[in-house]
A and B are shown apart, each in its own frame.
Chain A
Amino acid sequence: MAESTPMPARRFDPWPATIFVMLAVLAVLFLLPTAGVVLSSLKTTHDISMGDLWSLPATLYLGNFREALSNPSVHRYLLNTLLVTLPATTGSITLGVLAGYVFAKLPFRGSNALFLVLVAGMFFPPQAILVPLFRMFNAVGLIDTLWPVIVVHTALGIPICTLLMRNFFATVPNALREAAIMEGASEWQVLTRVVLPLSLPALAVLAVLQFTWIWNDFLWPLIFTKSDDKRTIMIGIVNLKGQYSVAWGVQGALSLVASLPTLAVFLFFQRYFIKGMTMGAVKG
């Protein structure tokens, strides 16, 4: 009898430990490539081809960075990327703000259905529209310019921007809009003077999201541009693999340099993430 009654032993809960281990493994998996890039960016090509990838460099070699940053093509790549990313980011966010405001505050018959259709655009595989888009831009003679990249990124950003802004605007009390209208504000003034200043968190999230996504994109510039002086930085990195040899070190260095703008954008906007509706909007 005594053996059959289970001992009231203290239970070992395996979940926290399991989750911790899983997260740690994932973190290492995610960080390894970055570590590899950092390590190779600090080695000479000779060292890289000799030793294994993961060894620490014997001396801190900065020649890769020097080479990457002094290359005039790289300047062109960076400039092109900026010329694509800035207008496409602001463009998609602006359109998302306008559409989101209408969906949240000025609903009309069928606006909810339209909203769903628009958001469904997020789940559209870009590969499916790749060929038609290429033909279309080819027909209007815009291939090998930055324009198609800007236009496509702006358009593809509309669903997520609209979704996020609509949902954020929905949390701004209607009474604020009505109070502003009673004071003589036009719809545009309601948006710019009342609703947008209260929506900085959503705008900041979108700015980071869109900037990073467009900056890092490889597909669309690859499709729409041909000549080296129209390429963006992500393609530029690959192009560096040069005529003579695979320049791992220089590529690694340039990869690091190329990720700095997105990091800077994140650091600049993250202060707005927490702010916002903690401002005690309406009631007491």
Chain B
Amino acid sequence: MAELTLDRLRKSFGSQEVIKGLDLTIADGEFVVFVGPSGCGKSTTLRMIAGLEDVTSGAVRLAGQDVTRTRPAGRGIAMVFQSYALFPHLSVADNIGFGLSLQRLPRAEIAARVRAVAETLQLGPLLERFPRELSGGQRQRVAIGRSIIRDPRVFLFDEPLSNLDAALRVQMRLEIARLHRRLRATMIYVTHDQVEAMTLADRIVVFNEGRIEQVGSPMALYERPANRFVAGFIGAPAMNFLAPGCALLAGLAVPAGAREAGIRPEHLALVAPGDGAGGSVELIERLGPETFAHLRLPDLPDTVTLRLPGDSGVEPGTAVALRALPDRVQWFDAAGRALAATRG
């Protein structure tokens, strides 16, 4: 049982407060992903949980115990760094067994446990190599191996895959998902990658400027963002934001207090000319299975993004008409808060 609780957690560097009061409870065995813009404090939060950074005020509790002042190694938390942070002068085996050798366990036991971990991560043949002789993916696996060998209660990952190429990232993502299923350990994972966040997370925590904007399952955040920030942050390409009076929203009932409407690219549809708001295609992005069209509408300052099937023949410069699916439009008030859900 390793429930992790952050209680009014704050952190200042000098006079600058970067974490402005976090309250969060992460259940035992849960996979939680932290997302948010650069500099919003994800790494700092992770490092406070790990014990690498002092907490200015508030508490970190692990399995009911206050570990705010416990030294990092005493918390039973492992961390995988973005840079891998492998020890360059040690072989793969010595890297993985580093923590155990600090505990002065018998050599034979260390060797056996290292071999067991290496097997599960397909590192068996690489044990005698040095980090410089490994590929990026292999290095990341060694870093994961080093973190799992001590059976930690909580795993922290700070953008572990961001140094890898796209194909390897997909592969390692699956491996981390498998690892989570097998170990059933609590995991906190920081990423900038929407796909990683959506696919790995039991719950996503959206950070902004040292605060939590919303916590929820990936689909909940996607479909029912609590505010404009979350709505704009989750989903790629981003949600379109429209002024309530524009032609695209003509005929929709505007809830009281609504200052802005949001609609996702897949909730816009092309219609016959005259049936919707007119515009012209400015740019086309073909991804294979789907195509994104960026449309210029006369009464909107920004282009509107629209998702089309991959085989759609729309070309830049074409005049089109489009409509929003009415029950998919989300409304936000002047403070950016989402107004009562408009769909059942």
A and B co-occur in one complex = yes
Q: Does A126 contact B (CB under 8 A)?
A: no
Chain A residues with CB under 8 Å of B139's CB are 284
A-side interface mostly: helix
| CB contact list, B60-81 vs A, under 8 A | 72-73, 77-79, 81
Chain B residues with CB under 8 Å of A198's CB are 88-89
Q: Which of A173, A183, A280, A281 contacts B98 (CB 8 A)?
A: A183
Q: B130 — nearest CB in chain A belongs to which residue? A: A279
The number of inter-chain residue pairs (CB within 8 angstroms) is 76
Interface-central residue, A181, A183, A284, by most chain B CB under 10 Å: A183
Return A200 CB to nearest CB of chain B, in Å.
9
| CB contact list, A64-98 vs B, under 8 A | none
Residue contact A180 to B77, C-beta cutoff 8 Å: no
Chain B residues with CB under 8 Å of A281's CB are 88
Residue contact B88 to A279, C-beta cutoff 8 Å: yes
Residue contact A178 to B136, C-beta cutoff 8 Å: no
Residue contact A197 to B78, C-beta cutoff 8 Å: no
Residue contact A197 to B52, C-beta cutoff 8 Å: no
Q: Does B87 contact A (CB under 8 A)?
A: yes
If A175-B85, A284-B163 touch, does A182 touch B72 (CB 8 Å cutoff)?
Answer: yes
Chain B residues with CB under 8 Å of A183's CB are 73, 98-99, 102, 146, 150
Chain A residues with CB under 8 Å of B86's CB are 179, 282
Residue contact A181 to B52, C-beta cutoff 8 Å: yes
If A185-B102, A280-B132, A284-B136 touch, does A179 touch B88 (CB 8 Å cutoff)?
Answer: no
Residue contact B83 to A282, C-beta cutoff 8 Å: yes
Q: Does A22 contact B (CB under 8 A)?
A: no
Q: Does B103 contact A (CB under 8 A)?
A: yes
Q: Does A107 contact B (CB under 8 A)?
A: no
Chain B residues with CB under 8 Å of A193's CB are 98, 102
Residue contact B52 to A180, C-beta cutoff 8 Å: no
B180-219 vs A: 1/0 string, CB under 8 Å? 0000000000000000000000000000000000000000
| CB contact list, B163-185 vs A, under 8 A | 163-164
Task: For the complex, give the distance between the alpha carbons of A179 and B164 in Å.
Answer: 20
If A283-B163, A284-B136, A284-B163 touch, does A182 touch B88 (CB 8 Å cutoff)?
Answer: no
B148-168 vs A: 1/0 string, CB under 8 Å? 001000000000000110000
What interface size band does chain A fall in?
20 to 34
Residue contact A178 to B52, C-beta cutoff 8 Å: yes
| CB contact list, A133-182 vs B, under 8 A | 173, 175-176, 178-182
Residue contact B73 to A179, C-beta cutoff 8 Å: no
Q: Does A184 contact B (CB under 8 A)?
A: yes
If A279-B89, A280-B132 touch, does A184 touch B102 (CB 8 Å cutoff)?
Answer: yes
Q: Does A194 contact B (CB under 8 A)?
A: yes
Task: For the complex, give the distance between the alpha carbons of A149 and B63 in Å.
Answer: 59
B129-148 vs A: 1/0 string, CB under 8 Å? 01110011001000000110
Q: Does B292 contact A (CB under 8 A)?
A: no
Residue contact B89 to A173, C-beta cutoff 8 Å: no
If A182-B79, A184-B102 touch, does A173 touch B85 (CB 8 Å cutoff)?
Answer: yes
Q: Does B34 contact A (CB under 8 A)?
A: no
Chain A residues with CB under 8 Å of B164's CB are 284
Residue contact A280 to B146, C-beta cutoff 8 Å: no
Residue contact A184 to B73, C-beta cutoff 8 Å: yes
Q: Does A189 contact B (CB under 8 A)?
A: yes
| CB contact list, B104-148 vs A, under 8 A | 130-132, 135-136, 139, 146-147
Residue contact B83 to A175, C-beta cutoff 8 Å: yes
Task: For the complex, give the distance between the alpha carbons of A32 and B27 in Å.
Answer: 79
Residue contact A194 to B87, C-beta cutoff 8 Å: yes
Task: For the complex, give the distance between the alpha carbons of A180 and B84 in Å.
Answer: 12
Task: For the complex, give the distance between the alpha carbons of A181 and B51 in Å.
Answer: 10
Chain B residues with CB under 8 Å of A182's CB are 50, 52, 72-73, 77-79, 147
If A182-B50, A183-B102, A280-B131 touch, does A175 touch B73 (CB 8 Å cutoff)?
Answer: no
If A284-B139, A284-B163 touch, does A184 touch B103 (CB 8 Å cutoff)?
Answer: yes
Residue contact B89 to A178, C-beta cutoff 8 Å: no
If A279-B130, A282-B84 touch, does A184 touch B99 (CB 8 Å cutoff)?
Answer: yes
Chain B residues with CB under 8 Å of A283's CB are 83-84, 163
Q: Which of B85, B102, B146, B163 contacts A189 (CB 8 A)?
A: B102
Task: For the complex, give the distance between the alpha carbons of A184 and B85 in Å.
Answer: 15
Task: For the complex, give the distance between the alpha carbons of A176 and B98 in Å.
Answer: 12
The residues of B with any CB-CB pair to A shorter than 8 Å are 50, 52, 72-73, 77-79, 81, 83-89, 98-99, 102-103, 130-132, 135-136, 139, 146-147, 150, 163-164
Q: Top 9 closest A-B pairs, CB basis?
A: A280-B132, A184-B73, A183-B99, A279-B88, A284-B136, A175-B85, A179-B85, A282-B83, A197-B89
**A-B contacts, 18 listed (Cβ < 8 Å):** A175-B83, A178-B85, A179-B86, A181-B73, A182-B77, A182-B79, A182-B147, A183-B73, A183-B102, A184-B102, A193-B102, A198-B88, A279-B88, A279-B89, A279-B131, A280-B130, A282-B88, A284-B163
Given A181-B52, A182-B52, A182-B73, 12 additional A-B pairs, CB 8 A: A175-B81, A175-B83, A182-B72, A183-B99, A193-B98, A194-B89, A198-B89, A279-B88, A279-B89, A279-B132, A280-B132, A284-B163
The residues of A with any CB-CB pair to B shorter than 8 Å are 173, 175-176, 178-185, 189, 193-194, 197-198, 279-284
